[in-house]
Amino acid sequence: MSVRKDELIIPGALPEGTDPLPRFRRRTGFWVFRTGEGFPEEAEKDLNSCPRTLPYRMQNRYGRDRKILRLDTVVMENEYIKAVFTPSLGGKLWSMYDKEHGREMLMANTVVQPGNLAVRDAWLSGGIEWNFGAPGHTYFTCDDIWAAILKGGDGEEFLRIYEFERAKECIWQIDFHLPRASRQLFSHVRLINPDDTDKTTYWWTNVAVPEDGCTRVLSSTKDVIAVCGNTLTYEKLPYLSVMPGDLSYSINATRSFDYFFQPENGAATSWEAAVNKDGYAFYDRSNAPLIYHKMFCWGNHDGGRHWQQYLSDGVNGEYIEIQAGIARSQMHDRPFPKNSVIEWTQCFGCAFIEPDKIHGVSLDEADTAFGLTVEGLVSEEFLLACDEQYRKSADIAVTERDIVHRASGWGALENMRREKFGEKKLPDTACFPESSLSEEQSVWISLLNSGELKRTEPDKIPASWMVSDKWMRLLSKRDNWYAHLHYGNMLFEHWDDTKVADEARYWSEAGVYEKLAEDEWLLSDRCEPNVWAKRNLAELYRLRGDKERAEKYYDLIFADPASGCDFSFAVEYMEFLNENGKYKKSWELFRSLKTEFQNKDRIMILAAACALKLNELEYVGKLFEHDLSAVREGETSLTDLWFEYHARLIAQKTGVSFDENREKLLETAESEHPAPSKIDFRMSVGKNAKYRKT
């Protein structure tokens, strides 16, 4: 068995830079789900959550023009498995090759092509990703994480990836073990809450496996929570009320769809598998608390198929995801007590099973047959013994010389803060050398050392954001625009992370923090006029529904040349104007932008929406020639534009009023002008609200 550094040479289009505007929780929204009749009371506990972006920035700066990339990898290999990890892309297990049978176990993407699906926007399909922190795909999906090669007590080398997660201020680390002659790869995950404060947390392991048109998903249980719009139902596979057909076969899903397996209370382990038509199966087995599993598929329709090809090379992208989590669903929070550790072991492997034991039989028979296979390959007793062994290895400290891939300086900064105030440093199982500190941390180092946040030039993009209460308490001295700006951000983002999201909405506190944030941003702009405070005030008034004041502040932003430092200001203002039917003003703003900004994907889509209402149809027609990268999961803006564009052309041709015949013309357009695959990102063949932009 070997663990070594290597390199992946692959075509791709990585994000280049980040969006400088803070994306507040109030904009992200609160996930509220209803439960259907017969939903168990116990399963409603800790339901609902709130995605969160800050203090991270949105990664929305990428396109579709690929170039050859050279990515650092760490390769683990024994007689049966070759596993390739990409620490510059969140530590994703990019490939897991079955040497015995000469085939890839995962959907190993042949390109690096981001799409707008993660909590920070950019997301990559394929492989196995490790999702920690907040609902949605990991903050680190397109970021570097730390990687170290260590030696266990048995003398075998293993790989550890880890990082300091800033939103919850916790550590996540994963140790990967590939024993000699093992047909399974083992991951031991340890989540660490290092503070004297209760928190909540989130974890899902997402595995992308090939879908061959006859892939059947099996598990150690048939009880599931199924998702239909904003309603959750509690049912039993294979037949669910939300959709016809045997839904253990993903091909029967007529839309993007997911369900969450619910093991029996007290289950020590659970497993999930995806078995192709020839009996080749990928499976995982894990011990508590990682006992909840999930199936996700894109759906058997044009939009779903397009998404899969769009995120891949356009040829080899058909896949489903089998996932595992520590809460009942991705809509549930998980309490994370103070000064505690949550850990488990999960193993991944492949197997052949006679196809007629899986296909053409009942789900009960298929589950039983594969359950016996899993037990024979990695028994519950064996997995629990591995977990005990790997818990000991998880205590091994990392030194700087063990590190084979470097990441951010945020962990080093947190250790500096802890040392300053006499707090215990972060665990030495995660090494964050001070040499990793960079410009992003410099303003906060200055605050630690001097007790004040030093002024910067207002036309300069802020280096980073910070929203932690720990840092907010350090900002008692505020005598410049920059300090007031950051303090306002922290107040507006304030949230009680000691409770599950259902109980922690800060706006229930009579808007106290909101008003304090408003005062700080007003003070910031009075100290020195700046587009950053004005933008936050515009955002605040927009969220309050005070459209007049929001528009006033957006206008003030564009009266300042500093608004030209980034196109994100234009995106937000055009969105606001379009939402409020001010298409002429939005179009005029678009025409005033420099060409570089006019050619940004999101701005082109917003401009096309204006052009449509103003009968500038030539511009709209040209939009569909572009290969756009900004479309969000669940967004239908392009197909909506397409159908209205053709409806307006029909109105012109037939000499009727579009406004007076809108619905009839749209029906005709949908019938006579089906959306080309290139622009079809619909996740449902119908118009279910879950799959449309809200």
- Rounded to two decimals, what is the model's pTM? 0.95
pLDDT, residue 690, reads 33
**Domains of the chain: residue spans and CATH:** 2-62+90-393 (2.70.98.10), 409-437 (no CATH), 438-549 (no CATH)
Lookup result for tokens 């064996």 = 382
**What pLDDT band is residue 50 in, cutting at 50, 70 and 90?**
confident
422 to 98, 161, 294, 435: CA distances (angstroms): 50, 27, 43, 22
- Tell me the three state secondary structure of residue 207: strand
Does the pLDDT at position 686 exceed 70? no
Q: Which of 513, 489, 497 is nearest to 49 (CA)?
A: 497
The C-alpha atoms of residue 22 and residue 632 are separated, in whole angstroms, by 18
- Encoded tokens for 496: 């009680």
pLDDT, residue 687, reads 45
Over residues 506-519, the pLDDT tens digits come to 444 557 889 999 99
pLDDT, residue 7, reads 97
**What pLDDT band is residue 27 in, cutting at 50, 70 and 90?**
confident
The C-alpha atoms of residue 687 and residue 518 are separated, in whole angstroms, by 38
Percentage of residues of the chain with pLDDT beyond 70? 96
Q: Indicate the angle between helix axes 547-558 and 568-579, nearest 10 degrees.
A: 150
**What pLDDT band is residue 499 in, cutting at 50, 70 and 90?**
low
- Encoded tokens for 671: 């019938």
Query: Quick one: average pLDDT of 395-409?
Result: 98
The C-alpha atoms of residue 8 and residue 634 are separated, in whole angstroms, by 31
Question: Residues 6 or more apart from 577 whose CB is under 8 A from it?
Answer: 551, 583, 585, 586, 589
Average pLDDT, the chain: 94
Q: Which helix H or strand E contains 527, and what residues bound it?
A: helix 512-527
- CA 548 to the chain's CA centroid: 34
- Other CB atoms within a 10 A radius of the CB of residue 79 amount to 11
Over residues 138-177, the pLDDT tens digits come to 999 999 999 999 999 888 999 999 999 999 999 999 999 9
Does the pLDDT at position 692 exceed 80? no
CB 483 within 8 Å of CB 477: yes
Question: Residues 6 or more apart from 225 whose CB is under 8 A from it?
Answer: 43, 232, 233, 234, 259, 260, 262, 328, 329
